[in-house]
Amino acid sequence: MAKTNLQILSGEVLDEGTEITLAQLCHTCSVQAETIEVMVEHGILEPVGTRSHHWCFPANSIKRMRIALRLQRDLDVNLAGAALALELLERIDQLHAQLRVIDAR
């Protein structure tokens, strides 16, 4: 009989209104808090709160962080370039949403 490798996945669905802590973001993206602080300095992430160890982040920060990390790792894009790319990607998403509304009429 063949052995099967079962993995049990658990997770939580996050909506746009959900906020996550600095520690949760670090854990989810497998980075140190210092990495996130640098991302905040470059405008890639926007925390809620004044002191870094009390920061919370909107749930979409996970996606932004992962994209920024991939841009750095795969394309050797610096943080300023990653911030610009994220801004442009979000603008493209907004334009696509507007087109869907126009097409639905």
Query: All domains of the chain, ordered by start, with CATH?
Result: 19-104 (1.10.1660.10)
Query: 64: how many CB neighbours lie within 10 A of its CB?
Result: 21
Rounded average pLDDT over 32-57: 91
Q: Judge whether 36 and 66 are in contact, CB under 8 Å.
A: no
pLDDT band at residue 12 under the 50/70/90 scheme: low
Query: For a pLDDT cut of 70, what percent of the chain falls above it?
Result: 85
**Averaged pLDDT, 49-54:** 77
Paired tokens of 74: 């795969």
pTM summary value: 0.78
